[in-house]
Amino acid sequence: MSEYHGAGQSPYGNWAGTTILAVRKGKDIVVGGDGQVSLGATVMKSNARKVRTLCEGKVVVGFAGATADAFTLFERLEAKLDQHKGQLTRACVELAKDWRTDKYLRRLEALMAVCDKDTSLILSGTGDVVEPEDGIIGIGSGGTYALSAARALIDIKGMDAEAIVKKSMKIAADICVYTNNNLVIEKL
């Protein structure tokens, strides 16, 4: 995805309309997402909910991609979590395999940040299941800005995971035109 498409076009494809950030600090995991849905240069909605809990509140998922794809993937992940008795890594690997090989699912272009109390993972439609070494995930068009800010803030004493997510998402919203300050934050 290194090719730039010119003014007004995002190099992020369908992921241009969001920023999702997950921060693990101490025993807390916090996932935040902005509320902006964009179609080209137009803001279609400012208060979308791109972060949700699954598995009776034991798993938090943030989604970057098309809305219809999000609902499909949330449902599929929840079914995999039920099938594998809440084992997050196993459920994510199985979903990634289906996503990559299923004729219908492989057309879904998205990224997901998936977290439980012990594990943080990035899932993609190409079959990737990646666990970041520092417990911080940034996806979507403003994801690299939020990720950079969170990494800069993570070692500040007295700043908990939720404060880091809020500050980092504000920084991303100040830089990325596809990101706003209407946040949905879920904490485990």
Residue environment code for 139-158, b if the CB has 16+ CB neighbours within 10 A, otherwise e: bbbbbbbbbbbbeebbeeee
Measured at the CA of 136, the angle between CA 18 and CA 11, to 5 degrees, comes to: 35
What confidence score (pLDDT) does residue 16 get?
52
- With bands split at pLDDT 50, 70 and 90, how would you rate the model's confidence at 7? very low
Domain boundaries, the chain: 13-187
Burial 15-49 (b: 16+ CB within 10 A, else e): bbbbbbbbbbbeeebbbbbbbbbbeeeeeeeeebe
What is the share, in percent, of the chain residues with pLDDT greater than 70? Answer: 91
**This prediction's pTM:** 0.89
Nearest to 108 by CA among 77, 74, 78, 65: 65
Averaged pLDDT for residues 3-9: 38
Q: What is the per-residue pLDDT across 135-177, written as a single tens digit (0 to 9) for each?
A: 999 999 999 999 999 999 999 999 999 999 999 999 999 999 9
**At 1, is the pLDDT very low, low, confident or very high (cuts 50, 70, 90)?**
very low
Q: Residues of the chain with pLDDT > 90: what percent?
A: 69
How many CA atoms lie within 13 Å of 143's alpha carbon, on the beta-carbon side?
24
On average, the pLDDT of the chain sits at: 88
Per-residue pLDDT for 2 more than 90? no
Q: Is 81 helix (H, G, I), strand (E, B) or coil?
A: helix
pLDDT at 50: 93
Which of 64-73, 75-84, 94-103 is least confident? 64-73
Between CA 23 and CA 132 the distance in angstroms is: 11
Tens of pLDDT, residue by residue over 53-72, are 999 999 999 999 877 788 88
For 14-34, how does the pLDDT look when each residue is reduced to its tens digit (9 = 90+)? 445 689 999 999 999 999 999
- The fold of the 13-187 domain, in CATH, is Glutamine Phosphoribosylpyrophosphate, subunit 1, domain 1 (3.60.20)
Active site positions, annotated: 18
pLDDT at site 8: 40
Strand order in the sheet with 19-25: 136-140, 19-25, 28-33, 184-187
